Structure 1
Amino acid sequence: MIAPLDPAIVAWVSANVIPYEAELRQRLRRLCGSDAEVDDLVQDVYFRILKMESVQHVLEPKAFLMQVAKNILVDRFRREAIVHIEAVASLEALDVADPGPSPERVAMARAELKWVLGLVANLPERCRRVFSARKIDGLSQQETAQRLAISENVVEKEMMRGLKLVAEMVARVGVEGGAAAGQAELARRAPRKHNV
């Protein structure tokens, strides 16, 4: 007996997979010997997706669909005694470029964010609190003034001061200069007296 299908996954397939079926069929025609084989593969793809416990991890449905089809073809090639080299070489027809950032770009962005947060952490206290409320928490100038119990004029002046200190550090050291040099320079330039 076949387990009942999850209605949420059926709805997800309807919205996110079916729109790409024509393109999948077109790509599979280059790899398969007949339309009947294409039909079988498409049916296997749907079956494999519909029996999944969850699809929440899928960020790019089109790429996911093509990868499922590619995996099914690879499984079939493994089972066959003779595999045509052209068929294996043609598997790249199912590849879809990943639109997301590369792992290197993600790592670099995280390092840059950590460095910038280090700069912000080394701003004078009131300047840091204002800068964090405005740029990190996304508060308006009025909301920042209310939260910190200061005037909007002070919020504006502290923001300008914070932006100037951060901009000077970035111009002087550059992002590649690293957090240590940036933090040391900012700490040296920041006044020691803190009025809250």
Structure 2
Amino acid sequence: MIDDATLKAWFFREVFPLEAALTRYIRRNWRNESDVADLRQEIYARVYSAARERLPLQTKPFLFTTARNHLINQVRRAQVVSIDHVADLESSFVVVDAVTPDRHLTARDELRRVQAGLDRLPPRCREVVVLRKIEGLSTKAVAARLNIGVDAVEQQMVHGMRALVDFMTGGPGKIRRPPARKRRAAEAQRL
């Protein structure tokens, strides 16, 4: 375990100078500007906590990997409700006092917006997102059903959820992939 003085010195020497780059990264990958400061603090807390056990050899990749994973977890926590459930809710005879007509209309509009965002995704990507998030299948089950690799399912999920979040927060909802040159360089590093 790292002592507090060493940990604080490391944090201010190695992590804190990356704050501007981290903020740009969060803004680029998260549409709600009001969440940026909170997300940055949560990422700092995770980095600080993890470094308490052992300081990372390379701070910048560690920080941005932590940020990426935290943003993915935030997206995963957002629940996507099945579009088919709207019909079930409308045909239900249960009266709930908390559901006002305004809330009902807002919820229906949000569901339509989710469906519109899903419709904008490429077919394979849409299929992966629906199977994982709406039908609740595991990554391995989706890979087996679609006859693709687990890595392909994970990549499609990342691209699909980013595009869906982008659309839901007012963006165009298009999948953004790095240029082919960067993809090839990243693939070469993995090998």
- TM-score interval, normalised by the smaller of the two chains: 0.3 to 0.5
Q: Which structure has the larger Rg over C-alpha atoms? A: 1
TM normalised by structure 2 equals 0.40
TM-score, length-scaled by structure 1: 0.39
